Amino acid sequence: MIKHFAQKVEYEIPEHLRNLVISVIIGKTEEKVDLTIPIFATGFPLIVNIFGDKPTFTVNKIPYQTESNLVVAGQIYNSRIVFRQTGIFGNVGLILHPTATYYLFHKPGEFFNNMWTKFTDSTPLACCKLIEELSECSQINRRVKLLLLFLAKLEKNRLPSIPWLETSVDLILQRNGNVSQDELAIIAGVSNRHFRRIFKNVIGVPPKYFCKVIQLNSVFQLLHDTKSEKMHLLALDCGYYDQSHFINDFNKLIGDTPENFLLGNQAYLKEYMGRKGL
């Protein structure tokens, strides 16, 4: 059984990368497993280095094979994603800012949606040496260092910043998703149409969907921090007006009721949900 699916690793992110990399997580087992693992939207893309056996996964019941030990995991958007892990489970991940894939890889957010995309297909810089060094590495801290060193190279070649978009995303995160698109567009100083188009192009999902994902994950963050099982009360703290509204959103994004999720055999996933690291 997986004890930790996405446990935070205390690692100092270099100052020049802190607007791109939020935190480091690790998931692993000491023994072989045979597990089916649903993956839900968190609002944050990741770079994942697989040091165990490569999983298979399905997107809306369509099967895929993970082809590389270094991938970019994009936003999850209106899709049901399930991973199947047989053998040793071992991943280290860098949680990225929602705009980071666009800035670093020079690709629209939709390019990465609902997939684990090979790093070699993602980066504008050659990464063969990085992949070789990771394959020979046995220490987690060394893996993280190698990844951050390569991101520092990408950062020097990044696309120009979009200040109003970064401000908008930060405001969504600060308010736990409780902000309207109209207010965001007014603060950004752009039209609603322009706001939606740029937001979706860079991040990969519409702003309204992103806000809902962040709002729901804020409940999980409180759940993780407080160790409380009273999810409905925590939902009220995150801006839900009533219990039925929260349960409805939960069902749409998770596909189950909060009670079933917490009591089910994937309850450990609550540490993956809400893992903002902010």
Residues 132 and 242 grouped into a single domain: no
How high is the pLDDT of residue 43? 94
Q: Cβ distance 173 to 40 under 8 Å?
A: no
Q: What is the DSSP string of 78-123?
A: S--EEEEEEEEEEEEEEEEPTTHHHHHH-S-GGGGTTSEEEGGGT-
Do both 233 and 135 map to the same domain? no
Q: Are residues 134 and 206 in the same domain?
A: no
* Inside any domain, residue 204: yes
- Does some domain include residue 195? yes
Q: DSSP string spanning 124-184?
A: SS--HHHHHHHHT---HHHHHHHHHHHHHHHHHTPPPP-HHHHHHHHHHHHTTT---HHHH
What pLDDT digit, counting tens, does each position of 192-206 carry?
Answer: 999 999 999 999 999
Long-range contacts formed by 193-199: CB under 8 A, 24+ apart: 195/168, 198/162, 198/165, 199/165, 199/168
**pLDDT of 266:** 63
pLDDT tens-digit map of 32-55: 999 888 888 999 999 999 999 999
Q: Could you say which of 156, 182, 202 is where a domain stops?
A: 156
The total number of structural domains in the chain stands at 2
141 and 176: one domain?
no
58 is a domain residue: yes
pLDDT tier, 225 (very low <50, low <70, confident <90, very high otherwise): low
Residues 70, 52 share a domain: yes
Residue recorded with tokens 């690793």: 9
Please indicate, yes or no, whether residues 180 and 99 belong to a single structural domain of this protein: no
**CATH number for position 90:** 2.60.120.10
The verdict on 114 and 234 lying in the same domain is no
The pLDDT of residue 208 is above 70 = yes
pLDDT at 60 over 90: yes
Examine residue 276 and state whether it is found in any structural domain, yes or no. no
Crossing angle of helices 207-226 and 181-188, in 10° steps, is: 110
Q: Do residue 26 and residue 116 come from a single domain?
A: yes
| Token pair for 203 | 């991040």
Count of CB atoms situated within 10 Å of the CB of 62: 9
User: Does residue 278 lie in a domain region?
Assistant: no
- The single-letter DSSP state of residue 213 is H
Residues 146 and 196 reside in one and the same domain: no
Which of 156, 186, 205 is at the close of a domain? Answer: 156
Q: According to the model, what pLDDT value does residue 210 have?
A: 96
Decide if 277 is inside a domain: no
Structure confidence at residue 216 (pLDDT):
83
Mean pLDDT (whole number) for 83-92: 92
Residue 30 lies in a domain: yes
Q: Report which of 61, 78, 68 is spatially closest to residue 113, judged by C-alpha positions.
A: 78
Residue 179's CATH number: 1.10.10.60
pTM over 0.85: yes
Range of the structural domain that residue 93 is part of: 4-156
The secondary element (H helix, E strand) that includes residue 261 is helix 258-263
Same domain, 168 and 116: no
The verdict on 88 and 118 lying in the same domain is yes
Q: Are 191 and 165 in contact, with CB atoms under 8 Å apart?
A: no
CA–CA distance from 122 to each of 70, 76, 275 (Å)? 10, 17, 24
Does pLDDT of 146 surpass 60?
A: yes
Provide the 10 A C-beta neighbour count for residue 12: 9
> What is the chain's mean pLDDT, rounded?
88
Residues 192 and 116 in one domain: no
End residue of a domain, out of 128, 156, 184: 156
Q: Is residue 143 part of a domain?
A: yes
